[in-house]
Chains A and B, each alone.
Chain A
């Protein structure tokens, strides 16, 4: 029986013009391919007022997600702006997570160099078991949060959340610096929550499959399906919550302008 090899970093399975193609990247492309195929199919059948079964299924998912995110944002117009981002995060993460437990993922290997050694490396690996993927989504999400914050409140108003004149508002300046650290910590928490859960699930499945190859992994596979769903939901919901916070005028600014605090709706 071969020893179990566990690597935190994803493995390169090839390179094109000096650009390393990693096994997690292959999985991300496969997940994107699946989603593009679905989009192509629904586009081909067309959107009808009287939907068929396939369209009804797509509508069920899209409208369900929209209602969920709209209930968080509580502003239909803004919810429509955020929806592509939050829904894509949710769908991409759960498709990636679920595809990560398909047979062949992790078990189909090729010979390649990894960490200076020639070894058998998996051709496919769950896309979210790579920090590059989770970090990319986290950076994209938090950058979008900042963008929508500036877009909704204006640069000065949104920036005043982080920066204040130390001679006028020393406490505000301190709180602002904490806010800035908080924004960065969101990236870190997003990244490592998703990566940690999925990587831990992979390791768990690998160990269980190594110890008891038959039947024993089945409950853990079911649990990984559930974890994959929950992680996608948590990532997307937190993004929606951060977006809602970003477009809401913060207390200091509202006080300064003599408006209501906290929950004032943005005007465009």
Chain B
């Protein structure tokens, strides 16, 4: 055993020195390399996870807003369509009312015009009868070469006025 140890060059001092060296190496690497590197990797992983979570939330928020926007637009479209329909109906009703009133007014105007025309015609016919009766009486005076008294003149004219319409028709 002693020969083997000697042949391999095993020495307690060298062995312990190498163990101490290795311990120092582990300590230095753990303190200055492994822990900081693992920490920065963990931090990065956390940051990425948080960012992904945030991105997911933003996506969800965007989807929600899009859905709300679509719903609002759809509602606005429906309201606009309803409003348009109501406006059409109201305008149609208004048009009918206005037309009815216009027709009534036109009919009233026509009736009034007809009445006025009738009245004017009647007054013209009366005036014509008067003038014609007077002319007939004057003509009769000239034909008969005599002058009627005022009372006769008036009596003839009244009689003529009464009979003229039947005579002219």
Contacts and interface: CB of A to CB of B under 8 A. Distances in A.
Given A36-B28, A88-B29, A130 B19 contact: no
Interface in B9-36: 9-11, 13-19, 21-26, 28-30, 32-34, 36
Contacts of B73: none
A32 interface: yes
Contact of B25 (A8, A25, A51, A88): A88
Nearest to B16: A136
Contacts of B61: none
Interface in A85-131: 85, 87-88, 91-92, 130-131
A152 B13 CA distance: 32
Contacts of B41: 59, 62-63
B95 interface: no
A116 to B, nearest CB: 12
Contact of A35 (B6, B19, B23, B29): B29
Nearest to A18: B13
Interface in A19-59: 19-20, 22, 25, 28-29, 32, 35-36, 38-40, 42-43, 47-49, 51, 58-59
Contacts of A59: 37, 40-41
Interface string A59-102: 10011001000000000000010011101100110000000000
Interface string A163-178: 0000000000000000
Contacts of A133: 18
B26 to A, nearest CB: 4
Nearest to A88: B26
Interface of B: 6-11, 13-19, 21-26, 28-30, 32-34, 36-41, 43-44, 47
A32 B21 contact: yes
Interface string A119-161: 0000000000011110111011000000000000000000000
A132 B37 contact: no
A42 B32 contact: yes
Interface of A: 7-10, 19-20, 22, 25, 28-29, 32, 35-36, 38-40, 42-43, 47-49, 51, 58-59, 62-63, 66, 80, 83-85, 87-88, 91-92, 130-133, 135-137, 139-140
B27 to A, nearest CB: 8
Overall SS of chain B's interface: helix
Given A62-B37, A62-B38, A8 B15 contact: no
Q: Tell me which of A25, A84, A87 has the highest count of chain B C-beta atoms within 10 A of its own C-beta.
A: A84
Q: Tell me which of B9, B13, B30, B36 has the highest count of chain A C-beta atoms within 10 A of its own C-beta.
A: B9
Contact of A43 (B7, B15, B32): B32
Cβ-closest 7 pairs across A and B: A9-B9, A136-B18, A84-B30, A132-B14, A39-B32, A47-B40, A62-B37
Contacts of A62: 33-34, 37-38, 41
B109 to A, nearest CB: 92
Given A35-B29, A49-B47, A58-B37, 11 more contacts: A9-B6, A38-B33, A39-B28, A42-B32, A59-B40, A62-B33, A88-B25, A91-B29, A132-B11, A137-B18, A140-B23
Contact of A22 (B14, B33, B34): B14
B33 A131 contact: no
